[in-house]
């Protein structure tokens, strides 16, 4: 991983309060909220949670002690090993801090610093080779040279619109892209950002996966891999796999805006902010609770300008970077969902069609291998003739998996060896296709 000198300066460890880029009162509030919730807190515990340089914590505690807001509960030979608690006056100060917000965690970074870090890390296009993309898609049966349809969009980290009949692998392709990005260049991200005294929590444990689960930064060390040379990293930042956010029919406009919790008084970052530096998939586009036009209008400016605009409860508008690969997937006719103005802003449009009989055969044999079901050619030909050719049923890439899983369930229920026979195919297809018709 090649790190620019500019990024090193942004991520460098702050050793004095004025280097943090945030107000002293914000850090003091974090200290007093910890004292309020935990009672007695050691300097080491403060550093573990707030993740800033120990000397900064010690200096702020020394000032608070001078102001009779805290007192030493346990002393030792070194000040950095002291444990503190609040005085009566300090307890009032802690209650005031809890009134402002209940956030306890790593100290946030300034919005401007966050923007600099994201732009510096995404400004240089990552080079993902055709071989890497083909390898990422190798578990799927797709048309020849399919990788050429999506590769340029992945390399440019811009936008991709996939459409076509359901059940033919659009979501699987998107997941393969997400896995590919996660295995490529990692990204430095903060736990939270601040603007106008407000805290926006950007870290989401379901989305942001540390590059190394045993992160050396947790112990205050420099990274073992030496990505930044001799520069120590500010521990408010952490190295993550590129994030992947996937939203389907449950997506609402509220999820794309800052969400303010009136109890904790903390803002939660919208999905696109959490996806910065990675991938944002909108699956089943057109089936959301909001209209396609509303959703598309929300994306037109970010797709073109690569910035997004968010609004605080105070009415203040924030400009934040919008640096992610947008993948939109739909089973519906694009001409019924979007206009030309939007499609012009989407770099690549890819139709994912139903498989032909040759591809369907390849998918079926792969599924049999993965589920350890002995493949029987005569039974497969029977399936094709009776359940597809005679009723003129269209082939779908998802059918082999679903039919084989149903056969497995039948065999397990009857406690018989797993096998592929015309009788079992009839039983499985009678269940599967009848249910599919009812669902429609």
pLDDT at 434: 66
Question: What share of the chain has pLDDT > 70, as a percent?
Answer: 92
Record the tokens describing residue 86, joined without a space. Answer: 């609040």
| Bridge partners, residue 240, by sequence | 187, 210
CB contact at 8 A, 94 and 85: no
Mean pLDDT value across residues 257-278: 95
**Where in the chain are the domains?**
23-105, 110-351, 357-439
pLDDT at 206: 94
Record the tokens describing residue 281, joined without a space. Answer: 């998939």
Residue range 23-105, CATH number? 1.10.10.10
pLDDT at 216: 39
- Domain 23-105 and domain 110-351, same fold? Reply is no
Rounded CA-CA distance 214/205 in Å is 15
Confidence grade of residue 348 (pLDDT, cut at 50, 70, 90): confident
pLDDT at 228: 57
Nearest of 294, 254, 289, 291 to residue 271 by alpha carbon:
254
Mean pLDDT value across residues 409-418: 94
Confidence grade of residue 109 (pLDDT, cut at 50, 70, 90): very high
pLDDT at 410: 95
Match 């970052």 to its residue by tokens. 269
pLDDT reading at 336 higher than 90: no
Q: What is the pLDDT of residues 380-400, one digit of tens each?
A: 999 999 999 999 999 999 999
Residue range 110-351, CATH number? 3.40.50.300
**Which of the residue ranges 46-50, 117-121, 156-160, 336-340 would you say has the lowest mean pLDDT?**
336-340
Mean pLDDT value across residues 369-373: 95
pLDDT at 221: 40
Q: How many CB atoms lie within 10 A of CB 37?
A: 12
Question: What share of the chain has pLDDT > 90, as a percent?
Answer: 61
CB contact at 8 A, 199 and 108: yes
Per-chain mean pLDDT for the chain = 88
Distances (CA, A) of 141 to 215, 238, 363, 365, 366: 37, 37, 6, 11, 9
Distances (CA, A) of 46 to 28, 43, 83: 11, 5, 10
pLDDT reading at 212 higher than 80: no
Cβ neighbours for 200, distance < 8 A, ≥ 6 positions apart: 108, 192, 193, 194, 258, 266, 267, 268, 269, 273
**Which of the residue ranges 92-96, 132-136, 153-157, 251-255 would you say has the lowest mean pLDDT?**
153-157
Between 125 and 163, residue with greater pLDDT: 163
CB contact at 8 A, 212 and 239: yes
Record the tokens describing residue 260, joined without a space. Answer: 């303010």
pLDDT reading at 311 higher than 80: yes
Q: How far apart are the first and last CA of the chain?
A: 49
**Which of the residue ranges 42-51, 53-62, 178-187, 216-225 would you say has the lowest mean pLDDT?**
216-225
């Amino acid at each position: 991983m090649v790190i620019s000198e500019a990024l090193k300066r942004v991520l460098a460890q702050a050793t004095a309060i004025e280097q943090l880029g945030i107000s002293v009162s914000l850090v003091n509030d974090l200290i007093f909220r910890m004292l309020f919730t935990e009672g007695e807190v050691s300097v080491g515990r403060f550093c573990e949670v707030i993740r800033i340089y120990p000397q900064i914590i010690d200096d702020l505690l020394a000032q608070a002690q001078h102001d009779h807001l805290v007192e030493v509960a346990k002393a030792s030979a070194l000040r950095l090993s002291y444990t503190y608690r609040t005085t009566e006056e300090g307890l009032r100060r802690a209650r005031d801090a809890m009134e402002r917000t209940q956030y306890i965690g790593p100290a946030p970074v300034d919005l401007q610093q966050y923007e600099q870090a994201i732009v510096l890390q995404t400004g240089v296009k990552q080079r993902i080779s055709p071989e890497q993309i083909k390898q990422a898609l190798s578990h799927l049966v797709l048309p020849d040279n399919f990788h050429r349809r999506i590769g340029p969009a992945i390399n440019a980290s811009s936008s991709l619109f996939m459409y076509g009949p359901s059940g033919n692998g659009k979501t699987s392709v998107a997941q393969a892209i997400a896995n590919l990005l996660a295995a490529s260049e990692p990204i430095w991200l903060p736990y939270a950002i601040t603007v106008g005294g407000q805290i926006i929590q950007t870290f989401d444990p379901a989305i942001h996966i540390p590059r190394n689960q045993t992160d050396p930064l947790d112990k205050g060390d420099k990274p073992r891999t030496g990505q930044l040379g001799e520069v120590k990293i500010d521990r408010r930042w952490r190295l993550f796999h590129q994030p992947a956010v996937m939203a389907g029919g449950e997506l609402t406009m509220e999820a794309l805006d800052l969400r303010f919790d009136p109890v904790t008084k903390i803002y939660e970052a919208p999905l696109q902010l959490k996806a910065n530096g990675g991938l944002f998939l909108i699956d089943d586009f057109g089936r959301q609770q909001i209209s396609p036009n509303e959703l598309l209008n929300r994306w037109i400016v970010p797709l073109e300008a690569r910035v997004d605009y968010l609004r605080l409860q105070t009415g203040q508008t924030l400009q934040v970077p919008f640096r992610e690969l947008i993948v939109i997937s739909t089973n519906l006719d694009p001409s019924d969902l979007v206009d030309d103005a939007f499609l012009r802003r989407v770099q690549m449009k890819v139709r994912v069609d139903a498989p032909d009989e040759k591809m369907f055969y390849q998918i079926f044999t792969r599924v049999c291998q993965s589920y350890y079901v002995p493949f029987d050619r005569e039974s497969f030909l029977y399936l094709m003739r009776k359940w597809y050719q005679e009723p003129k049923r269209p082939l779908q890439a998802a059918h082999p998996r679903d039919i084989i899983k149903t056969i497995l369930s039948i065999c397990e229920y009857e406690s018989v060896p797993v096998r592929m026979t015309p009788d079992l195919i009839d039983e499985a297809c009678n269940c599967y296709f009848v249910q599919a018709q009812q669902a429609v």
